[in-house]
Amino acid sequence: MANETRKLTMVKAINLALHQEMERDDDVMVLGEDVGVDEGVFRVTEGLLKKFGEQRVIDTPLAEGAIVGMAVGMAIYGLKPIPEIQFSGFAFQAFHQIENHAARYRARTRGRYHIQMVIRMPYGGGIRALEHHSESEEAYYAHTPGLKIVIPSAPRIARALLVSAIRDPDPVVFFEPKALYHAVREEVPDAEETWPIGQARVAREGTDLTLIAYGSMLHKCLEVADRVKVEDGAEIEVIDLLSISPMDGEAIAASVRKTGRAVVAHEAQRNCGVGAEVMARIVETAFLQLQAPIRRVTAPDVVYPGFARERGWLPDAEHVLSAVRETLRF
Amino acid sequence: MPRKSLDLPPIEYLSILDPEGNVDTKLEPKIPPDDLKRLYRTFLLSRRFDERMLRLQRQGRIGTFGPTRGHEAAVLGSVYALRPTDWVVPYYREWPAYMWRGWPLDNLVLYYAGFAEGMRVPDGNRDLPLCIPIASQLPHAVGVAYAARYKGEGSVTLAYLGDGATSHGDCQEAMNFAGVFQVPLIFLILNNQWAISVPRSRQTRAKTLAQKATAYGFPGIQVDGNDVLAVCVATQEAVERARQGGGPTLIETVTYRLSMHTTADDPTKYRSEEEVKTWEAKEPLIRFRRYVEAKGVVDERTHAELEAEVDAEIRGAIERAEARMKPNLLEVFEHVYAERPPELEAQREALVHHLAEIGETPPS
C-alpha cells in the first residue's frame, strides 16, 4: 500500500491531505460555508462530512469573520481547525481576525496560547469568474508578523504542503490557485509526504537566468523556460517559491549568484507586491553577481477587470518571455 | 387572517439588592459567608487598584489606562458563578475577574506599563487576554465553547462585551453562531451607557440590549448591573442552562462607567455632572458593603483590616512590577513564531549588533 500512487488533480490531492490528517488526529476539523453537505464549492472537502460527522465538518452560517474568529477560539482550546474561505476575495471580512488575532495570539499572550490553524482559500484568476473572485492577495498577508503564507503549484506539492501546514504550530494562510484545481494531474503517493514551510524548490535547473514564480504563474514560467531553450539556447532556472512568508531567501540568492540574472513573476498587482520583496532580497544578497537589472512581471496596478478583459491583464507566458529575453540580452 | 402577533419571549428585568441595601429575600442567592467576604475583598482590591492605577498614569509610570470603577458588581457577580475550569473571555476592563481568578496583580501593572509579558495568562487559568479591538473576542468565545463541548468537558464560557460592542459585526456574527451551534456560552453586556463619547441611545434604537437575544434564538435578560446579587443569580441560571446543554444566554447588565473611558478622554466634554451624580447614588461598592455588613460578614474592624491588606497587596504588586520593567528589547522577537524563521533571526542579530554599537547592553 505504502508505495501506491494515484493520479490526482489538485482538488483531489488537497482532499487526500484533509482525509488523512483528520483520520490521524481527532483535533483536526474543517469549518466554513458549504464545506459539509455540499462538500465545498470546488469539492475540496468531498467525503469529509460522511466520514467525520458534523461535529468536525461544520457547515457554518455565512460570515467570514466569525468563521475565522471561531477557529481562533478552537485553536486556543487546542483544536486544529481548518477554516475555509470560499473565495479569497471574501477574506477581507475576516482580515481583522487573521491580523489582530490569529497572527498575534502567541505574541499577545507571550506564548501561553498559540493558534494552530490553516486558513484555506482559493485565490487567483483565469477562471472567468465574477468580481471579487479572482484577486491575488498574498502580499496583504505576507506583511503580517506571525503568519505563514504558502501557495502550492501542483497536486503533489499541494498535498505535502497542506500536511505540513496542518501540523505547523503557527497559523498558515493556504492559498489554492484555483486555475490549477483541475488543470494538472500528478502521481501522488498514498503514503505520507510533507514539505517544509519556508522552503522553495528548484522546479527546473539552469545557468543563464533565474525565474522566480509561484502558484499558477509557475507553469507559465516553465513553458517559457522550454521555449527559451529551444529558441534562444539559454538555460533558465525556475524557482517555485511555495512559501511566500517566510520566504526562502537562501534559495533565491543561491540561484541568482549562479545565474547573474533574475526575473520574478506573479499574478498580483505590482505595487508593494511579493515581487518587490524578491527583488529586494536579490539586491541585498546577490547584487555583485548581477549582470542585468532584475525585472518583474506582474498585473498592472488597477482593479481586477471583469472576465471579458482578464486575458492580457493577467500576466501570461508572453509577458514573461519578453522580460526574460530583455534580461538575457542586457 | 394574515396579520397576528407572534409569540416572542418577554424580556425580564432582575434586581435583588437595591441602592439602599434592601434585599428581596425571595430572590436572594445563598452565597456562603466566606465567599461573600472574598467577593467583598476582591471588590475593594479592584476599586483601590483602579484608583492607584489612575494616579500611576498621571505620574507617567504607566501608559493609557481604562478604569473599571462602577463595573465591579457586574464583573464579580458573574465571574463568581463560574468554576475554575470554565472560561473567561474579557474585553479590556474586566480585570476584577482576573483578580477573582488569582492573577498576579503585578502582571496587570506590567501590562499597562507597556510590557506585553504582563498579559501572559497564568498557566492553568482558563482566561483569555484583554482584547482591544471591539467585539473581536466574541467569535473566539464561540470557538472556545464549541471546543469545550467537543471535548466533552462540560465547561462553560463567559464572554464580556460593552454596549458599544453590540453595534459591531463581530457581535452579531458571534451571537448568531452561538445560537446556531447552541454552544455553552454566556454573553454578558456591561451596558455602561457610553462608548467613549457616544451614548447607548446612539448604539441602537432597541429598547433593551437584552432583547437582541430573541433574534438569535436564545434567552436574554436585563439585570441591575450595580447589584452583585442580581448579576450572580442571572449568571448562575445561565451557567446551569449552558451546562445542561441548553445553549447560550445573553445578560445585559445595566450599569455605569463612573470614570473616563480611558485616561486619554475627558468625560466632562460629553456627559453631564447631573447624570454622573445620579449614578454615583447607585454606586455598587457602597451597596455591596451595606449588604455584607447586614449579613455580619464585614464590620468596621474587618473593613479596616481589608483596606490595609489590599493596600499592601497593591503596593507590593507595583514594586514587583517595577522591578520587572526591564527594557530587554530583544523580548519582542520571542513568541512571534514557534520557531524563528531565518530572516527574523537575521533581523534579531542585526538589532543585537546595533544595540552593542550604541552601547546598550544586550539582555541576558
Tell me the three-class secondary structure of A192-207, residue by residue: CCCCCCCCCEEEECCC
Q: Which of A77, A110, A250 sits opposite B148 (nearest CB)?
A: A77
Using a CB-CB cut-off of 8 Å, the residues of chain A touching B133 are: 96, 100
For residue A3, what pLDDT band results from cuts at 50, 70 and 90? confident
Q: How far apart are CA A124 and CA A173, in angstroms?
A: 14
Burial class (CB in 10 A: 0-12, 13-18, 19+), B236: middle
The tens place of each residue's pLDDT in chain B, 364 residues long, gives 789 999 999 999 999 999 988 999 999 999 999 999 999 999 999 999 999 999 999 999 999 999 999 999 999 999 999 999 999 999 999 999 999 999 999 999 999 999 999 999 999 999 999 999 999 999 999 999 999 999 999 999 999 999 999 999 999 999 999 999 999 999 999 999 999 999 999 999 999 999 999 999 999 999 999 999 999 999 999 999 999 999 999 999 999 999 999 999 999 999 999 999 999 999 999 999 999 999 999 999 999 999 999 999 999 999 999 999 988 899 999 999 999 999 999 999 999 999 989 887 665 5
Q: What is the largest CA-CA distance in chain A?
A: 60
- Indicate the pairing of strand B87-89 with strand B249-254: unpaired
Helix, strand, coil percent values for chain B (each to nearest 5): 50, 10, 40
H or E element at residue A244? strand A243-245
pLDDT tens track for A254-285: 999 999 999 999 999 999 999 999 999 999 99
Confidence (pLDDT) at A286: 97
Specify the residue for cell string 470614570. Answer: B259
Angle at B56 between CA B50 and CA B62, to 5 degrees: 100
Cβ neighbour number for residue A53 with a 10 Å cutoff? 12
Cis? peptide before B2, omega within 30° of 0? no
* Residues A206-226, mean pLDDT to the nearest whole number: 98
Beta-carbon contacts of residue A60 (< 8 Å; ≥ 6 apart): A31, A32, A33, A66, A67, A70, B177, B180
Do A70 and B176 lie within an 8 Å CB cutoff? no
Instruction: Select the residue from A76, A96, A282 to test the B interface by mutation, using most B Cβ atoms within 10 A.
Output: A76
Q: How far apart are CA A122 and CA A38, in angstroms?
A: 16
pLDDT tens track for A51-94: 999 999 999 999 999 999 999 999 999 999 999 999 999 999 99
Q: How far apart are CA A261 and CA A291, in angstroms?
A: 6
Do B138 and A106 lie within an 8 Å CB cutoff? no
Beta strands in B232-333 (DSSP E): 249-254
Cβ neighbour number for residue B334 with a 10 Å cutoff? 16
Separation in Å, CA of B20 to nearest CA in chain A: 42
Q: How far apart are CA A219 and CA A184, in angstroms?
A: 10
Confidence (pLDDT) at A43: 97
Nearest alpha carbon to residue A120 among A48, A52, A42 = A42
DSSP secondary structure code for residue A100 in this structure: I
DSSP secondary structure code for residue B362 in this structure: P
Beta-carbon contacts of residue A328 (< 8 Å; ≥ 6 apart): A208, A209, A228, A232, A234, A261, A292
Do B129 and A75 lie within an 8 Å CB cutoff? no
Confidence (pLDDT) at B359: 82
Q: How far apart are CA A158 and CA A112, in angstroms?
A: 31
DSSP secondary structure code for residue B142 in this structure: H
Query: What are the distances in angstroms from CA B54 to CA B46, B117, B118, B208, B265?
Result: 12, 21, 18, 32, 13
Separation in Å, CA of B329 to nearest CA in chain A: 14
DSSP secondary structure code for residue B204 in this structure: -
pLDDT at A297 over 80: yes
Catalytic residue among A101, A114, A133, A219: A133
Confidence (pLDDT) at A113: 98
H or E element at residue A219? helix A217-232
Do A61 and B180 lie within an 8 Å CB cutoff? yes
Do B336 and A79 lie within an 8 Å CB cutoff? no
Catalytic residues of B: 257, 261, 270
